[in-house]
Amino acid sequence: MATAPVVTVDGPGGAGKGTIARAVARRLGWHFLDSGAIYRLLALASLRSRTAADDLAALDAQARALDIAFPTHGANADEVMLDGDTVTAAIREEACGERASVLAALPIVRAALLERQRAFRGPPGLVADGRDMGTVVFPDAEVKVFLTASVEERARRRHKQLMEQGVSANLAGLLEELRARDERDMNRPVAPLKPAEDAITIDSTGMAIDAVINRVLALVHERCGTTGAE
């Protein structure tokens, strides 16, 4: 059975995965999956409903029923919606990222979200951004990228991104939070953050965004023979 091609972009928080994966998807005219946003949506939903982080039955039900919408056009284009509410800025708050990383370590949560993520695959192709896209969710992806950068650079980038979104943040605090999140994401027993064996690692420290995008597009061209829609 022919399936749509997939490009996976995995790596630690703040490495620029979102920016790169989104731009590559746009250039190719492919679908885009921000899997971190799904974990963040569940985090927000559970915080709003005051569901405890150890209430596994409630979290499983909440993950399965989660109303996930990433509209690409119309009035809410590029917004993240939860139960009809725009939560684009709310899910970027560090409290949400923190809780997302706690919930993401629970096997029951990952299992509940697995098929929902796979459902994003469709023609002409998909660019998926996360931690386990190349290792667990799309192990047969045509192109697997592991995007990384030094933790200091990642904290600086996240700080700049939050300021631009009007979310207040403190650089030293972000550095500590990123370190703690990396530690948890890399050391969890289920779907730990690590490069897939067949992934190509790109260290984006000091690299311009366009250079990273072009490198990924060149890989797609090499493996899938497409240059994209634009």
Residue selected from 31, 154, 159, 181 as contacting ligand C5P according to rule CB under 6 A = 181
Q: Is 131 a residue that touches ligand C5P (CB under 6 A)? A: yes
Interface characters, 17-46, with ligand C5P (x: CB under 6 A)? ------------------xx--xx------
Binding of ligand C5P by 16 (CB under 6 A)? no
Taking Cα atoms as reference points, which of 48, 57, 121, 108 lies closest to residue 82?
Answer: 48
# residues contacting ligand C5P (CB under 6 A): 15
Q: Strands 200-203 and 143-148: what pairing?
A: parallel
68-69: strand order across its sheet: 68-69, 81-82, 85-86
Q: Give the distance, in angstroms, between the CA of residue 193 and the centroid of all CA atoms in the same chain.
A: 12
Q: Which stretch binds ligand C5P (CB under 6 A): 23-31, 58-66, 70-78, 131-139?
A: 131-139
Task: Report the residue from 97, 125, 213, 219 that binds ligand C5P according to the rule CB under 6 A.
Answer: 97
Measured distance CA(29)–CA(106) in Å, rounded: 34
Binding part of the chain for ligand C5P, among 1-9, 48-56, 95-103, 213-221 by CB under 6 A, reads 95-103
Residue 70 phi, psi (nearest 5) = -120, 75
